[in-house]
Structure 1
Amino acid sequence: MAKIQEEVSRRKTFAIISHPDAGKTTLTEKMLLLGGAIRSAGSVKARKSKKFATSDWMELEKQRGISVTSSVMQFEYEGYKINILDTPGHEDFSEDTYRTLMAVDSVVMILDVAKGVEAQTKKLFKVCRDRGIPIFTFINKMDRHGKDPLELFEEIEEVLGIESTPVNYPIGMGPTFKGVYDRFTKTIEYYGEDEEESTFVSVENYTDLRKQLEKSADEETIEKLMEDLQLLDEAGNPFHLDTVKEGKQTPVFFGSAISNFGVPTFLQHFLQIAPSPFPRESSAGKVNPTDKVFSGFIFKIQANMDPSHRDRIAFLRICSGQYEKGMSTWLERTGKQMKLAQPQQFFADSREGVDHAYAGDIVGLYDPGVYQIGDTICGTKELFEFGDLPQFPPEHFAKVRPKNALRHKQYVKGIQQLAQEGAIQVYRTPKFEDTILGAVGQLQFEVFIYRMKAEYGVDLEMERLSYQLARWVKEGEIPEKAYYSSTSMLVHDYVKRQVLLFKNEFSLNYFLQQNEGITLTESPPKDK
């Protein structure tokens, strides 16, 4: 028990979220560099140099310069076992991000100093707030012109509805940016051109701070800093650790991820403040991370991470107990016993076997096709579940078929495996068994076509459809006219449940008015 307690207390499992181009993947790279996990940081934009972000392992991500799938990276740093989940910033892949947020204990939110709180940030933040996930804010690109820091604090509080409290504060901005003042440690961290090592100077009070800055900053920059700091002392939100852990207050840090400025001190503060794994609700009540009984849930499935083996990996968030190599477990959904013989820990697309793992860790399980997203795995026959993960109804639809009929076997395998990842939803028409794809965002179709070609050797023909809504049939018998309606289409999902596709809200409401005995739902019932 003492061993489990010790191991759990040093785990920090968090996700990094942001709007596209705010610097999420760059910050991730710098953290990995600090931990000695990589020797040099790659950039998602560095196509010509062929040096790409470690977290962007899929070839399409390297070509497009975007992250389209969540990545898991694990490393040791100053006695902590760190699990970073880098998430897609593009809104078309928000469902993958939302599921990933269910597997973390805290979140780092990155804001571009010039743009502040952007649309995708609001959506992701809402999920965090609804779950009470502790949030840490890193305001990036301080070496460029941007919004006034006080304006950013106001924006965070008004738009996101959460208190903000700056841990450090910028000294200037853009061309006048000289560094940051750490309000916790009363230390100046000077911004320099050498990103390998920052210069730190401790001060006793604001008078001493002013004297130190007179050597490097102009009077206007110093005056603004002094005024802002005094205002924060008098009217700002005082730091409260309990409020942070409840997800009601966000500590704010400033820096420049591209130059690595502010990242080391941010990580040090974060590791001291951020929570270790906490109890999780289940159908059997709260499950404590230090419980002896092993448990966890599947939050992601990824096919073909290793092109040479074409395998499928199910990502398991451990919630309690200790994993030991070869241990027997039970899958709650089926009640069947299984051995976890070859779990692996990850660093983007690289992996290594693991003999022991604890609550907070993310391990990859070889999946022969038995796992589903949301599955709970228990260490005893006394089964319970952690509950469903978010699933969103698709808003874009397309009919697909293979260009070459001789590739039909590979086509069926690819469709099945990619659908099981949760990256896209697959339906069949009842009469002719046509394949209909449903996606939350348009870019998912592009990724699907790319992966079918690259991973399964199948070229697709795709015909976009004009439907916008999908609703599962919960109760009632679908009338024959629904099969042939001009404003709706009846299809079946992968377990033969009836689903109606509608062109718009008007056609949905009209259908419900004409068929009072039918009940529809936005998400499917849990598959047993």
Structure 2
Amino acid sequence: MHGILQGRSVVRTGARISQNAILNHAPSSKQSRAHYAAKKMITIHKEVEKIRNMGISAHIDSGKTTVSERILYYTGRIEDMHEVRGKDQVGAKMDSMELERQRGITIKSAATYTDWKGTNINFIDTPGHVDFTVEVERSLRVLDGAILVLCSVGGVQSQTLTVNRQMKRYNVPCLGFINKLDRAGADPKRVLKQVREKLKHNAAFVQLPIGLESKLSGVVDLVKEQAVYFDGDNGEIVRYDAIPGNMMTEVKAYRQEMIEHISDGDEIVGNMFLEEKVPSVDDLMAGIRRSCIKRSFTPVLVGSALKNKGVQPLLDAVVDFLPNPAERVNMALMEGKEGKTDSIHLDPSRSAQKPFLGLAFKLDIGKVGQLSFVRVYQGRINRGDWVWNTRTGKKCKVNRLVRMHSDEMEDVTEVFAGDICAMTGVECASGDSFVSIPDYKVSMEPIHVPEPVISMSIKAKDATKHSDNFSKAINRFTREDPTFRVFFDPEIKETICQGMGELHLEIYAQRMEREYNTPVVLGKPKVSFRETLLAPVSFDYLHKRQSGGAGQYGRVIGALEPLSPDRNLDLAFKDETKGTNVPKNFIPAIEKGFRASCEKGSLIGAKVSGIIMRLQDGASHVVDSNEYAFINAATGAMNDCYDLGRWQVLEPIMTVEVTAPIEFQGAITAQMQRRHAVVTGSDSAGDWVSLFCEVPLNDMFGYSTEIRSATQGKGEFTMEFCRYSPCLPSTQEQLVQAYQEELEKESGEVVKKKKRN
């Protein structure tokens, strides 16, 4: 309906309640909702124009899951709405994990599908916390559009910036939805300004709120120039009416502003604007759609999901403005001649007889085995078909095809290009591509996986009792989440887990206890320190043992010297002997004893490096000399050097790059100085600054949390190994003291054990 409606109200609805019931103003009864749910009126359309694949992304606590819950309710997928934190012991449908309901945050992305006015909508609710950013990353990789939810009080926040960069990376069109207009301090106009300035979007309101905070009663559609109200117990009755008289001036001003921004993003509307023609409603709707798909214009809608206002028009905007799979240009990599890789366009037509190509973007390992979430980019696949993994070349049978509804599975027999489904019976890793013809050498571009930023040691509380379950849990979680990595460090003899933040690792520790009955202990990992020599020291050691029969005899003479600083990770051995005092066949044994003694130094028990042993002379015995005797001689010589020499501790120095908005430059510089950093340079680009430093690794633990606190979550850092350098005297003193206490504790336990025996 176009223009301003005068004197009468018109009621429209989705598929939930019958038209007659609404026109007669009959309330929505539980019986009618249950009847709808029981019928499961979800038609799977084969027309690609009737498909929308979209995600819901935002900063933590902006209301994404609440928006998802309302979408499911208004489209008839659930019968009742529930709160995110699960105070009614049920919780939101898309938060299926117990941990999610307890903490009130989304941890795993959840997929579902529904129907709105004849259009199938596949959508994914993603986490908002930065620690689970890979869930957003791989979801946006396969989606055609997104809803960027913004808090009307918080505005553009740290994770909003991250999500925006991810959308830009995959060229995903988006709608803006300013949520929580019922909150005290709600200011949607300030949020729109931030979207333009911080996110650099050509954005404009396509709706205005009618009232704010406790006075929020509806929204004004600026395109169709009509007020929209949401009646009924749960806002399920959508009522269109005339615009309130006190808003007419504001509506005209913002409608003109909207047209100007659309004309900046769309050539056709832009030409009409230059020719001073007044675009019709159809012209504006088409212009918004074209520019939104090109990402040259971002329509911004408003509402309050918690108060059930503005969600149905948001669904209309998903259908009207976001692209269908055929309107997105999807590229694949094809192995060409001479091993060259060519980019090819994929055919999204659901009727085209093209080979099947799908991308496994997410794994979930549970009771049914491995569930592989797949976006189909070309062709079709049926249950029972055989597919080939393009990375491994392995042939797999699709035992089961399902569409996911959060944690529920609904079986289907076939899926087409543009669909999102899940397969069982297929072994793969996140980011693998599947084809239906083994010779079809085509694969999708891989998913960007951010590098972990934090490391902690991890071990089962009771290693003997829970070792099997601990291994199973680690194997499962590392396959599901590519940002969660676990490895054993032989130097420090600890199992190390890496992740995107402390919460990330804490969640996996809790899941191991809950799902595998395996309590684990997380701790600060040991740093791989080194010990080295400060000044040359000479040795002359005789190993002699006689206990009847053949004995042991070996003598080594020489010097131990430090290597140059650029070789402080090396160990060198040089044979400078002359004559036959030390037979040449025993030289390897002496080197072996030397290198074995360097595995554990005398200061802190760390590896010894940066030294060279010069063997200058020695002695042997015709009968008693053997390899074992010279190994012990070299070991004894090293022990003498440990006692007589001057040693120091080396620590790993990391090259750190910190990136943050320029207003936080002083804060991050002060942080680095407190961590004994040497600033080597800085670089600024626009509103962002990068600080380049060299920092001891031992001082970098916990920095991921500190930088987020100091920069409102906007700062991030990367770190890589640079070199080993002498540590501060205070640090060395602490390390030596801790090592001595550890030795005393171990010796005390040995004495107690002997007494018990």
Q: Could you say whether these structures have the same fold, taking a TM-score greater than 0.5 normalized by the shorter chain as the test?
A: yes
Q: Secondary structure at the match of 1:346?
A: strand
- The answer to whether the 8 Å contact 2:651/2:724 transfers is no
Residue 271 of structure 1 and its aligned partner are, at CA, apart by 0.9
AA partner of residue 440 (structure 1)? M
**Matched residues, number:** 472
Deviations, residues 257-294 of structure 1 (Å, cap 9, x unaligned) = 11221111220222122111133111121212225211
Match of 2:514 in 1: 454
Instruction: Please give the per-residue CA displacement for 1:387-443, whole angstroms capped at 9, x wherever unaligned.
Output: 221111111111112122122112111111111112511122135763210001111
Asked if 1:435 is matched to 2:495, the reply is yes
In the TM superposition, what are the counterparts of 1:470-485 in structure 2 within 5 Å? 484=607
The separation in 1 between residues aligned to 2:55 and 2:653, in whole angstroms, is 39
Look up the equivalent residue of 2:722 and give its one-letter code: Y
Query: Which residue does 1:39 correspond to in 2?
Result: 79
Alpha-carbon distance change, 512 to 434 in structure 1, aligned in 2, over 3 angstroms = closer
1:400 partnered with 2:458:
yes
Residue equivalent to 2:383: 325
Structure 1 stretch displaced more, 228-237 or 155-164:
228-237
**1:98-142, CA deviations, whole angstroms, 9 ceiling, x for partnerless residues?**
111101110101111112111111110111022221011111122
Structure 1 residues not aligned, in runs of 5+: 204-208, 469-476, 490-500, 515-528
Q: Give yes or no for the alignment of 1:296 onto 2:339.
A: no
1:23-71 Cα shifts (integer Å, max 9, x gaps): 1000001111122111011111232x11201111111111111111111
Aligned equivalent of 2:148:
109
Aligned partner of 2:435 in structure 1 is 378
Q: Alignment partner for residue 119 of structure 1, among 158, 171, 194?
A: 158
Residues 100-249 of structure 1 aligned to structure 2 (within 5 Å): 100-190=139-229, 194-198=233-237, 200-203=239-242, 209=243, 213-214=244-245, 219=246, 222=247, 225-226=250-251, 228-229=253-254, 232=257, 235-238=260-263, 239-249=287-297
Give the whole-Å Cα distance in 2 for the aligned partners of 1:109 and 1:310.
33
Higher relative contact order (CA 8 A, sep 6+): 1
Q: Do the aligned partners of residues 226 and 351 (structure 1) sit closer, same or farther apart at CA in structure 2, a change above 3 Å counting? A: closer
3-state DSSP of counterpart to 1:266: helix
Correspondence for 1:24 among 64, 76, 80: 64
Alignment of 1:280 onto 2:330: yes
Asked if structure 2 preserves the Cα contact closer than 8 Å seen for 1:112 and 1:141, the reply is yes
Aligned to 1:521: none
Instruction: Indicate whether 1:424 and 2:484 are aligned.
Output: yes
Deviation at 1:386, TM superposition (A): 0.8
SS at match of 2:142: coil
User: Could you tell me how far apart the structure 1 residues matched to 2:64 and 2:493 are?
Assistant: 42
The two structures have a TM-score, normalised by structure 2, of: 0.58
- Contact 1:14 1:84 survives alignment (8 Å): yes
- Decide whether the 8 Å contact of 2:652 with 2:723 is kept in 1: no
Structure 1 length normalisation: TM-score? 0.82
Q: Percent identity?
A: 25
Larger-gyration structure (1/2) = 2
- Listed as ranges, the matches of 1:355-366 within 5 Å are 355-366=413-424
- Letter of the 2:192 counterpart: F
> What SS does structure 2 have at the residue aligned with 1:120?
helix
CA RMSD of aligned residues (A): 3.0
For structure 2, the residue ranges without an aligned partner over 5 or more in a row are 1-43, 264-286, 335-343, 529-566, 572-598, 600-605, 608-649, 655-695, 701-716, 727-757
| Counterpart for residue 723 of structure 2 | 511
Tell me how far 1:5 sits from its aligned partner. 9.8
Find the residue that maps to 1:126 and give its secondary structure: helix
In the alignment, which of 628, 651, 665 is matched to residue 486 of structure 1?
A: 651
**Contact 2:400–2:425 (CA<8 Å) still a contact in 1?**
no
CA distance, structure 2, for counterparts of residue 467 and residue 107 of structure 1: 42
Change (3 A) 1:126 1:340: same
Provide closer, same or farther for how the CA distance between residues 175 and 467 of structure 1 changes in structure 2, counting only shifts above 3 A: farther
Take 1:363 and 1:201, find their aligned partners in 2: how far apart are those partners? 36
Look up the SS of the partner of 2:497 in the other structure: strand
Q: Aligned equivalents of 2:185 and 2:168: distance in 1?
A: 26
**Structure 1 residue 318 displacement after superposition:** 1.2
Partner of 2:98: 59
Q: Describe the superposition over 1:331-370 as per-residue Cα deviations: whole angstroms up to 9, x where unpaired.
A: 00111222112122111111122201122322222257x3
In the alignment, the residues of structure 1 paired with residue 301 and residue 389 of structure 2 have an alpha-carbon distance, to the nearest angstrom, of 42
1:330/1:383 contact within 8 Å kept: no
